[in-house]
Structure 1
Amino acid sequence: MAAPAASAAEPGALVPAADREIQFTADGTTAYGTLHVPAHRAGHRLPAALLLPGSGPTDRNGDEPPALTPGTLAAVADTLAGDGVMTLRFDKYFTGRTGPGAFQGDPGRLDLAAFTRQAAAAYTTLRDQPEADRHAMLVVGHSEGGLQALLVARTVRPAPAGLALLAPQDERLLDSLAAQLDGQLDQAVAAGQVTEEAARANKTALAAAVADFRAGRPVDTSALLPPLAQLLNALFGPDNARFVRSDDAVYPPDVAREVRPGTRVTVTCGTADARVPCATVPPLLGALARAHTSGPGLRTLDGVDHFLHPAGTPVNEHALAPAAVAALHEFARSWKR
């Protein structure tokens, strides 16, 4: 049952916290999400944050069920609710209740822009909720969702007052992927699972595969270890090639330079994050500085992994690390009611 709108209660009366199932349409597909409205006084407008998930089939809660359920976005929504921020998180294409929609049978038509249009439609839906303060619209993106937050910010109106980029994609997609895979090969050498010679050969073959894909040449994965070959064949295959190519064409710092001056921005990196290491963040930070955004700026989260959990926490544990919670509270402080 839908929660009562703010205008339905007597002005000044306390409206209890509630979730509402929300739907909106983009490119012929109805998407579904959860609007969380924290407790507030009737008639008061609330800061409103759109939450954007990471890469792959990641749903409104930040999960890829059944195997991967860290609950990152659900936990972010709970944390921001403590600061009086309402949130909308949704099932993107091929996840949750939304499913494939208009892309059923032809997932190869999806590209990065399609996901950006879907996220922009979600932002408009959030903006138009009766409780939302249009002067305090925010976008919070995790991992690839951090890049999407930057892309959405340059298209929607009003422009977001704040962006929280949580372990954001800060390099071209295939550069980031290659670095991750190189690191995994180094770990395999240290564990005695592959030889140093085999690791070097696979790194060389991986770099060649990426270069060939970018150049539009046939990609040969035969020299790669089977798990690496399987991964690249899936990414470069007909179902995913268009999306991968469109995402890889974007250098996140270039988009960051277009953020509206004065936008309040938080960027986090976890020292235990192997996917988006802190060492790769400076170009993104430099671009945000040149765009004349305001702080808090970078928050380095000691001992925190990619899912904003303490390092070593089981991946299906839903509690955010205290450092991540603190960074979110600091981000929301300007709009706390």
Structure 2
Amino acid sequence: MAAALMALAVVTATPAEATPGLVPAADREVVFTADGTTAYGTLHVPEHRAGQRLRAALLLPGSGPTDRDGNQPPGSAPHTLAQLADALDRDGIATLRFDKYGTGRTGLGAYRDRPEELAYPAFVRQARAAYESLRDQPETDPSALLVVGHSEGAMTGLLLGGTVRPRPAGLALLQPQAIRLLDLVALQLKAQIAEATRQGQFTPEQQRAVNAAIDAAVTSLREHRPVDTTGLPPRSPSSSRRSTARAPGSWKATTPSAHRTPPPHSGRGPTCC
């Protein structure tokens, strides 16, 4: 009986990580290239049987300088994508999340000396390269790839879904764009101006002038006319002026279409999350 109890104690004390044939969960750095820029990401592989091919999800961030964890340091750190990777781990799904242009180890890369050329299609191409990298990992099942996009990443996911090979087995859109893009940009800019006014950076008169200029810019863009930025207060945030000027004139629908040009992306513009 004593021998039996000792054997039982040994069995119950054996940690799960030591179970024969199981590979413990782990993170590793992944490197891939898009348009001449080296991008860096984190591949999370859940615990699995040795040699097993896993379902795997590419995690796409929202707009703005959002890094692989879903953060915009130093002001915003919700860890959106890191938490998502943890949740998918519990379902045995591997994940790849990466530092998009302008963030983390990736930085601006090939666009360092010409940031004005960094438009939304470049971010889509970067996401496509990430998908191909995930597909080629030894632990992933190429027939069971998923795309999970948050905010602007949901729009990118829609664009990827019909162009990558193999096509994703699943597509998840988290907080996707629900209104026309220029309407969304206008709402975000006006919210920023309202906060700046609350902090004393603008007078109420300046706030009204900027809001009117935003409305005029949206109208100009939709009519394919140049945007007139004269009349804006000298203290208006440069990001507001830059983001409004770069918004597209043809992007009028809620969802992407193969017949429309995707909107430009400004790494310093307002987030849509």
Flag whether TM exceeds 0.5 (same fold). Answer: yes
> What residue is the counterpart of 1:33 in the other structure?
41
Percent of matched pairs sharing the same residue: 54
Moved over 6 A (4+): 184-194
User: Which of residues 233, 253, 260 is equivalent to 1:251?
Assistant: 253
Amino acid at match of 1:108: E
TM-score normalised by L of structure 1: 0.63
TM-score normalised by L of structure 2: 0.77
8 Å Cα contact 1:209-1:221 kept in structure 2: no
User: Which of residues 168, 171, 174 is equivalent to 1:163?
Assistant: 171
Does the residue aligned with 1:245 lie in a helix, a strand or coil? Answer: coil
1:42 aligns with 2:50: yes
Q: What's the offset of the Cα at 1:194? A: 6.8
> What residue is the counterpart of 1:282 in the other structure?
none
Residue deviations 1:196-230 (CA, integer Å, cap 9, x gap): x8766554332102222442414225246944x53
Residue deviations 1:113-157 (CA, integer Å, cap 9, x gap): 111111001001101111111221111111111111111112101
8 Å Cα contact 1:136-1:161 kept in structure 2: yes
Distance 1:220 1:140 in 2: 37
What pairs up with 1:1-337 in 2 under 5 angstroms? Answer: 13-182=21-190, 202-214=210-222, 215-223=224-232, 226-227=235-236, 230-236=238-244, 241=246, 244-245=247-248, 249=251, 251-255=253-257, 306=273
- Superposition RMSD in Å: 3.1
Does the residue aligned with 2:86 lie in a helix, a strand or coil? Answer: helix
Does the residue aligned with 1:49 lie in a helix, a strand or coil? Answer: strand
Does the residue aligned with 2:122 lie in a helix, a strand or coil? Answer: helix
Distance 1:204 1:123, change over 3 A: same
Amino acid at match of 1:219: D
8 Å Cα contact 1:213-1:219 kept in structure 2: no
Distance 2:159 2:32 in 1: 19
Q: What's the offset of the Cα at 1:235? A: 1.8
8 Å Cα contact 1:170-1:251 kept in structure 2: no
Does the residue aligned with 1:98 lie in a helix, a strand or coil? Answer: coil
Q: What's the offset of the Cα at 1:177? A: 1.5
Q: Which runs of 5+ in 1 are unaligned?
A: 1-11, 257-274, 277-305, 307-337
Distance 1:252 1:138 in 2: 23
8 Å Cα contact 1:202-1:225 kept in structure 2: no
8 Å Cα contact 2:155-2:256 kept in structure 1: no
Amino acid at match of 1:33: G
Distance 1:223 1:107, change over 3 A: closer
Range moving further from structure 2, 218-227 or 88-97:
218-227
Q: What's the offset of the Cα at 1:105? A: 0.8
Distance 1:72 1:29, change over 3 A: same
Alignment: residue pair count: 241
Distance 2:84 2:230 in 1: 39
Does the residue aligned with 2:213 lie in a helix, a strand or coil? Answer: helix
